[in-house]
Amino acid sequence: MPDDAPLLLDVTRLIWRRWKGRHPTGIDRVCLAYLRHFGGRAQAVVQHERFRRILDRKASVELFDLLDAPTGRFRTRLATKVLRNLTGYIRNGNGRLYLNVGHTGLDSPGLRSWVSRSGVRPIYLVHDLIPMTHPQFCRPGESRRHEERMRTVLGTGAGVIANSEATLGTLGQFARSEGVPMPPGLMAPLGSKVLRPSVCEGQSARPSFVMDRVIFLSSLSDPRQLSGSIVK
Protein backbone atom coordinates (compact mmCIF):
# COMPACT_ATOMS: atom_id res chain seq x y z
CA MET A 1 0.00 0.00 0.00
CA PRO A 2 1.83 3.15 -1.20
CA ASP A 3 2.49 5.98 1.25
CA ASP A 4 1.55 8.80 -1.10
CA ALA A 5 -1.87 9.90 0.12
CA PRO A 6 -2.49 13.52 -0.90
CA LEU A 7 -3.50 14.62 2.61
CA LEU A 8 -2.23 14.26 6.16
CA LEU A 9 -4.96 14.27 8.79
CA ASP A 10 -4.26 14.88 12.49
CA VAL A 11 -6.44 12.50 14.54
CA THR A 12 -4.78 13.05 17.91
CA ARG A 13 -7.80 14.63 19.51
CA LEU A 14 -10.05 11.74 18.52
CA ILE A 15 -7.57 9.27 20.03
CA TRP A 16 -7.20 10.87 23.44
CA ARG A 17 -10.89 11.67 23.78
CA ARG A 18 -11.80 8.05 23.05
CA TRP A 19 -8.97 6.80 25.30
CA LYS A 20 -10.39 8.75 28.24
CA GLY A 21 -13.95 7.73 27.48
CA ARG A 22 -15.13 11.30 26.93
CA HIS A 23 -18.44 12.00 25.27
CA PRO A 24 -17.94 13.77 21.90
CA THR A 25 -18.10 17.54 21.85
CA GLY A 26 -18.91 19.70 18.85
CA ILE A 27 -15.24 19.86 17.89
CA ASP A 28 -14.96 16.06 18.21
CA ARG A 29 -17.87 15.64 15.81
CA VAL A 30 -16.19 17.97 13.31
CA CYS A 31 -12.96 15.94 13.57
CA LEU A 32 -14.90 12.74 12.95
CA ALA A 33 -16.72 14.25 9.97
CA TYR A 34 -13.40 15.24 8.37
CA LEU A 35 -12.07 11.74 9.08
CA ARG A 36 -15.03 10.13 7.35
CA HIS A 37 -14.79 12.46 4.37
CA PHE A 38 -11.04 12.58 3.80
CA GLY A 39 -9.84 9.35 5.46
CA GLY A 40 -9.74 7.43 2.20
CA ARG A 41 -7.30 9.98 0.78
CA ALA A 42 -5.19 10.64 3.88
CA GLN A 43 -2.52 9.37 6.20
CA ALA A 44 -2.76 9.84 9.94
CA VAL A 45 -0.72 12.26 12.02
CA VAL A 46 -0.49 11.61 15.76
CA GLN A 47 1.21 13.73 18.40
CA HIS A 48 1.85 13.65 22.12
CA GLU A 49 3.89 16.37 23.81
CA ARG A 50 7.13 16.37 21.72
CA PHE A 51 6.29 13.15 19.86
CA ARG A 52 4.86 13.52 16.34
CA ARG A 53 4.54 10.92 13.62
CA ILE A 54 3.10 10.59 10.14
CA LEU A 55 1.84 7.00 10.05
CA ASP A 56 2.28 4.86 6.98
CA ARG A 57 -0.78 4.07 4.92
CA LYS A 58 -1.45 0.64 6.46
CA ALA A 59 -1.35 1.91 10.04
CA SER A 60 -3.41 4.94 9.04
CA VAL A 61 -6.20 2.82 7.57
CA GLU A 62 -6.33 0.66 10.70
CA LEU A 63 -6.42 3.73 12.94
CA PHE A 64 -9.11 5.49 10.90
CA ASP A 65 -11.29 2.36 10.96
CA LEU A 66 -10.85 2.03 14.72
CA LEU A 67 -11.74 5.67 15.39
CA ASP A 68 -14.90 5.35 13.30
CA ALA A 69 -15.96 2.11 14.98
CA PRO A 70 -18.18 1.71 18.07
CA THR A 71 -16.48 2.66 21.31
CA GLY A 72 -16.18 -0.82 22.88
CA ARG A 73 -12.69 -2.07 23.84
CA PHE A 74 -11.00 0.94 22.28
CA ARG A 75 -7.83 0.77 24.40
CA THR A 76 -7.28 -2.92 23.74
CA ARG A 77 -7.90 -2.60 20.03
CA LEU A 78 -5.64 0.45 19.79
CA ALA A 79 -2.79 -1.43 21.46
CA THR A 80 -3.18 -4.68 19.51
CA LYS A 81 -4.07 -3.35 16.07
CA VAL A 82 -2.52 0.10 15.71
CA LEU A 83 0.29 0.78 18.17
CA ARG A 84 2.22 -2.28 16.99
CA ASN A 85 2.52 -0.54 13.61
CA LEU A 86 3.94 2.72 14.93
CA THR A 87 7.38 1.63 13.74
CA GLY A 88 6.06 2.27 10.25
CA TYR A 89 6.04 6.02 9.90
CA ILE A 90 7.12 8.66 7.41
CA ARG A 91 9.65 11.32 8.36
CA ASN A 92 8.94 13.80 5.58
CA GLY A 93 5.63 15.31 4.56
CA ASN A 94 6.93 16.11 1.07
CA GLY A 95 4.95 19.34 0.85
CA ARG A 96 1.60 17.68 1.45
CA LEU A 97 -1.33 19.43 3.09
CA TYR A 98 -1.59 18.75 6.82
CA LEU A 99 -5.16 19.13 8.12
CA ASN A 100 -5.49 20.02 11.80
CA VAL A 101 -9.19 20.59 12.43
CA GLY A 102 -9.30 20.22 16.22
CA HIS A 103 -6.89 22.88 17.52
CA THR A 104 -4.66 19.93 18.43
CA GLY A 105 -1.25 20.78 19.84
CA LEU A 106 -1.33 24.36 18.61
CA ASP A 107 -0.06 25.64 21.96
CA SER A 108 2.66 22.98 22.14
CA PRO A 109 6.22 24.32 21.78
CA GLY A 110 7.27 21.53 19.43
CA LEU A 111 4.60 21.87 16.76
CA ARG A 112 6.16 24.82 14.95
CA SER A 113 9.56 23.17 14.68
CA TRP A 114 7.95 19.90 13.50
CA VAL A 115 6.08 21.75 10.77
CA SER A 116 9.35 23.24 9.57
CA ARG A 117 11.31 19.97 9.74
CA SER A 118 8.68 17.71 8.22
CA GLY A 119 7.91 19.85 5.19
CA VAL A 120 4.14 19.81 5.62
CA ARG A 121 1.81 22.64 4.62
CA PRO A 122 -0.65 23.13 7.49
CA ILE A 123 -4.30 23.95 6.98
CA TYR A 124 -5.97 24.79 10.29
CA LEU A 125 -9.67 24.88 11.05
CA VAL A 126 -10.32 27.63 13.59
CA HIS A 127 -13.56 26.99 15.48
CA ASP A 128 -13.70 30.25 17.43
CA LEU A 129 -11.71 32.78 19.43
CA ILE A 130 -14.07 32.81 22.40
CA PRO A 131 -11.33 32.26 25.02
CA MET A 132 -9.76 35.51 23.80
CA THR A 133 -12.87 37.60 23.18
CA HIS A 134 -14.91 36.33 26.15
CA PRO A 135 -12.42 34.91 28.69
CA GLN A 136 -15.00 35.20 31.47
CA PHE A 137 -16.79 32.18 30.03
CA CYS A 138 -13.68 29.98 29.91
CA ARG A 139 -11.30 28.23 32.29
CA PRO A 140 -8.58 30.36 33.94
CA GLY A 141 -5.53 30.63 31.69
CA GLU A 142 -7.40 29.51 28.57
CA SER A 143 -7.16 32.98 27.01
CA ARG A 144 -3.36 32.88 27.06
CA ARG A 145 -3.31 29.33 25.70
CA HIS A 146 -5.65 30.24 22.86
CA GLU A 147 -3.53 33.24 21.94
CA GLU A 148 -0.60 30.84 21.54
CA ARG A 149 -2.76 28.57 19.38
CA MET A 150 -3.70 31.45 17.11
CA ARG A 151 -0.07 32.60 16.91
CA THR A 152 0.81 29.13 15.66
CA VAL A 153 -1.98 29.34 13.09
CA LEU A 154 -0.75 32.72 11.87
CA GLY A 155 2.92 31.81 12.01
CA THR A 156 2.85 28.39 10.32
CA GLY A 157 -0.44 28.12 8.42
CA ALA A 158 -0.47 27.76 4.67
CA GLY A 159 -4.20 28.39 4.93
CA VAL A 160 -7.04 28.77 7.40
CA ILE A 161 -10.57 27.40 7.39
CA ALA A 162 -13.07 29.19 9.62
CA ASN A 163 -16.53 27.98 10.51
CA SER A 164 -18.01 31.47 10.07
CA GLU A 165 -17.21 34.88 8.65
CA ALA A 166 -17.21 36.20 12.22
CA THR A 167 -14.46 33.76 13.24
CA LEU A 168 -12.41 34.59 10.15
CA GLY A 169 -12.81 38.31 10.79
CA THR A 170 -11.83 38.05 14.45
CA LEU A 171 -8.72 36.08 13.53
CA GLY A 172 -7.86 38.80 11.01
CA GLN A 173 -8.19 41.42 13.74
CA PHE A 174 -5.84 39.42 15.96
CA ALA A 175 -3.34 39.15 13.09
CA ARG A 176 -3.35 42.93 12.68
CA SER A 177 -2.90 43.46 16.42
CA GLU A 178 0.11 41.13 16.30
CA GLY A 179 1.54 42.87 13.24
CA VAL A 180 1.70 39.65 11.22
CA PRO A 181 0.10 38.70 7.88
CA MET A 182 -3.10 36.71 7.76
CA PRO A 183 -2.76 33.39 5.86
CA PRO A 184 -5.14 32.81 2.95
CA GLY A 185 -8.49 31.82 4.40
CA LEU A 186 -11.99 30.76 3.57
CA MET A 187 -15.21 30.24 5.46
CA ALA A 188 -16.62 26.72 5.29
CA PRO A 189 -19.81 26.16 7.30
CA LEU A 190 -19.98 22.82 9.05
CA GLY A 191 -21.76 20.22 6.95
CA SER A 192 -25.01 18.62 8.05
CA LYS A 193 -27.33 15.96 6.79
CA VAL A 194 -30.78 17.12 5.80
CA LEU A 195 -32.99 16.63 8.84
CA ARG A 196 -36.64 15.73 8.68
CA PRO A 197 -38.80 18.50 10.12
CA SER A 198 -40.37 17.55 13.41
CA VAL A 199 -44.12 17.74 13.83
CA CYS A 200 -45.24 20.17 16.51
CA GLU A 201 -48.51 19.10 18.09
CA GLY A 202 -50.00 21.96 20.04
CA GLN A 203 -48.31 24.63 22.10
CA SER A 204 -46.15 23.67 25.04
CA ALA A 205 -47.01 25.04 28.46
CA ARG A 206 -43.29 25.46 29.13
CA PRO A 207 -41.34 28.54 27.94
CA SER A 208 -40.13 27.92 24.40
CA PHE A 209 -38.76 29.59 21.29
CA VAL A 210 -38.81 28.94 17.55
CA MET A 211 -35.60 28.50 15.56
CA ASP A 212 -35.45 28.45 11.78
CA ARG A 213 -33.73 25.36 10.46
CA VAL A 214 -30.59 26.11 8.47
CA ILE A 215 -28.81 23.40 6.54
CA PHE A 216 -25.15 23.99 5.74
CA LEU A 217 -23.42 22.05 3.00
CA SER A 218 -19.66 21.76 3.29
CA SER A 219 -17.77 23.69 0.60
CA LEU A 220 -14.74 21.41 0.96
CA SER A 221 -15.91 18.36 -0.96
CA ASP A 222 -12.56 17.75 -2.63
CA PRO A 223 -9.05 18.09 -1.16
CA ARG A 224 -7.87 19.73 -4.36
CA GLN A 225 -10.18 22.63 -3.52
CA LEU A 226 -8.13 23.22 -0.38
CA SER A 227 -5.00 23.56 -2.46
CA GLY A 228 -6.65 25.61 -5.18
CA SER A 229 -8.61 27.92 -2.91
CA ILE A 230 -6.22 28.49 -0.04
CA VAL A 231 -2.68 27.51 -0.91
CA LYS A 232 -1.01 29.54 -3.57
Q: Who has greater pLDDT, 132 or 86?
A: 132
Predicted pLDDT of residue 185: 96
Stretch (H or E) spanning 185: strand 185-187
Work out the percent of the chain whose per-residue pLDDT is above 90: 54
pTM above 0.75, yes or no: yes
**C-alpha pair distances (Å), 62 with each of 33, 190, 219:** 17, 26, 28
Predicted pLDDT of residue 213: 45
Predicted pLDDT of residue 93: 87
Q: What is the pLDDT of residues 115-128, one digit of tens each?
A: 999 999 999 999 99
**C-alpha pair distances (Å), 201 with each of 196, 198, 204:** 16, 10, 9
CA angle 17, 30, 103 (to 5 degrees): 65
Confidence of residue 218 (pLDDT cuts 50, 70, 90): very low
Predicted pLDDT of residue 134: 94
Sequence-distant contacts of 54-57: CB under 8 A, at least 24 apart? 54/8, 54/89, 54/90, 54/91, 54/93, 54/118, 55/85, 55/86, 55/88, 55/89, 55/90, 56/1, 56/3, 56/85, 56/88, 56/89, 56/90, 57/1, 57/2, 57/3, 57/5
Mean pLDDT of the chain: 84
Exposure on the CB side of residue 188, measured as CA atoms within 13 A: 22
pLDDT at 214 over 50: no
Domains and CATH numbers, the chain: 7-229 (3.40.50)
Q: Who has greater pLDDT, 23 or 198?
A: 23
Q: Who has greater pLDDT, 85 or 6?
A: 6
Most confident range, picked from 82-96, 104-118, 139-153: 139-153
